[in-house]
Amino acid sequence: MDGNGRWAKARGLSRLEGHRQGALAAERIVRFVVKERLFPYLTLFAFSTENWARPRHEVDGLFALLESFLREKTEEFIDSGIKLLVVGDHKPLPEGLQAAIEEIEKKTAQNEALTLAIALNFGGRWAILRAAKDLLRAARSVAMGPEEVGEELFRAYLPTGSLPDMDFLIRTGGRVRISNFLLWELAYTELYFTDILWPDFDEEALLYALKDFQRRERSFGRVKG
């Protein structure tokens, strides 16, 4: 969800207002995905481990916005059948936001219409390093040897272990890079980049991107034909 700040700057608004409009765009997209039953999993990148370098007032404002969003949307998510997962390092987050995350995850745990994952205080390198440390601790406790560690076992220790690998990544805002996102999960992901800033990304833009994805032939490293 890239481009909130630039969207706001172009309109003479605060960066926080850009994030508010970005949250509204996320709402629209999530509702559309559920209504049209487009796909069963959706991941939104809300805050990276590198975003702590932003001005403190912006970070605090963004966390307050996220907490408010989660509390306001809990009942809607329950009614719409949306299961929410927040993946990332929760420990440095404000206590109120942590409580809101715990509450909405618990209340939506049995929902099946859409699994919505929000990557919050998330970094691809952090996720891989954490998984390696957790797996090492587990291996020591049961005397597991290196030869017993495979991709599936390692994957289970990732914060995204309960999610399937990503099929399609859409990056808004004109930046052509993945910015330390789901490094493990993106091995065979189709990438799509658009100049549209996130607050302007709407249902039409999503359908256009999905049509592009549908035209692609995915080989997963194999030779077809």
Active site residues: 2, 51
Contact 173, 6 (CB under 8 A): yes
